[in-house]
Amino acid sequence: MKKEFQLLDRREFFRDAAKAAAVAATVGAAARASAQRARPNPFAYDVSHLEKTDSKLISHEEIQRWRAPYSEARRLALAPGGELLVASGNYVTTFSAEGERGLEIALTEPARALTVSEEGLIYIGLRDHIEVFDAKGQRQATWDSPARKTWFTGLALVKDEVIAADAGNRVLLRYDRAGKLLDRLGARDRERNVPGFTVPSPHLIVRLAPDGLLRVNNPGRHRVEAYSLDGDFVLAWGQPGMGIRTFCGCCNPINFTLLPDGRFVTCEKGLPRVKIYSLQGEFESVVAGTESFPENAKACASRGLGDCTQGGLDAVADAQGRIFILDYVTGEIRVMKQKA
């Protein structure tokens, strides 16, 4: 039976009207806010076209991937026997070339620099001092902090000496193997034509090249520099720019390593990418482009939170030319092999 139409009394009318008005106002405000949130940004900083790499430039392919055992993975090193050392969290962990976990060394703070001698001694740079461990993970020595603002980020072994890169004071420190400080290299010196390191964020790496010269990144000048063991500035290469042949952003490369033939493998942040340069510093190819590290790229961009001090990559190369890449953001270690 059809329901009869009933008149509302005044009270019901006001109550229902108030409800309807409240619902309409809420929905309207939410819709407006949603539309404003989703609106494209007229002031967008757009580098998306640089995040894609020309496939013709990519020389390597990934053959294996695993994850570092702890968060905040920051550094890789290779032992003479081919074992990979990974610094993550407050630990240094060894892995076989196949990714099987071995020795683990517990530290009091995160390791920021790492290298292994022919004898198997493991040199670990913590923020302001260096610790030495034997091949079984037993601490052999602790070297004192050399200066107030020391922030070790790189270590290299040269003959019977250890060269430590101190990003906080923008110098290289020469130690003997017993930990005695011998010399400071690389500080700005106009008379010796030493330009000085420009290090906006703590990324200063030192390696010994086959030609017997030290190679150091100078991220604020967007180049790799060569120094004699006495600290003479010899040469530099590298150009700033967003393009694939140059070093992007304010301060890159943040890390680099050497292939067995002496060519350079560089790592950048902001646009996370790993590239190969010739002995003379000419761009050769891309090991892995920005599109290979989406989480890392996101960590620096507005799509993620924080800033670019949290993003970045590290790399080492073994005697077969395989390149191990560590992603700071995901903690993944990728093994890259040259394409056939």
Partner 1 sequence: MTENPTNDPTSRRTFLRNGARIAAMTGLGALGGVLAGRSNADAWVWQIDPQKCVRCGNCATECVLEQSAVKCVHSYAICGYCNLCTGYFEPEPNALTTAAENQLCPTAAIRRTFIEDPYYEYSIDEDLCIGCAKCVEGCTRFGNGSLFLQIRHDRCVRCNECAIARTCPGDAFRRVPASQPYLLKETH
Binding site for partner 1 (CB under 8 A): 9-11, 29, 33, 36-39, 41-47, 50, 198, 200-201, 220-222, 240-243, 248-251, 269-270, 300-303, 305-309
Paired with 189 in beta bridges are 194
Residue 47 burial (10 A CB sphere; 0-12, 13-18, 19+) = middle
Quick one: 146 or 249, whose CB is closer to partner 1?
249
* Structure tokens, 320: 């077969």
Quick one: 78 or 126, whose CB is closer to partner 1?
126
Quick one: 271 or 316, whose CB is closer to partner 1?
271
Paired with 225 in beta bridges are 216, 236
Quick one: 268 or 327, whose CB is closer to partner 1?
268
In whole angstroms, what is the distance from residue 165 CA to residue 271 CA?
24
Asked if 183 contacts 231 with a C-beta cutoff of 8 angstroms, the reply is: yes
**Cβ at position 191, least distance to partner 1 in Å:** 15
**Total residues found in the chain within this entry:** 340
Quick one: 137 or 196, whose CB is closer to partner 1?
196
**Cβ at position 176, least distance to partner 1 in Å:** 33
**Cβ at position 30, least distance to partner 1 in Å:** 10
**Cβ at position 126, least distance to partner 1 in Å:** 17
* DSSP line for 164-183: EEETTTTEEEEEETT--EEE
**Cβ at position 298, least distance to partner 1 in Å:** 11
Question: Which residues lie closer than 8 Å to 287 by C-beta, 6 or more apart?
Answer: 58, 59, 60, 265, 274, 275, 276, 315, 323, 325, 336
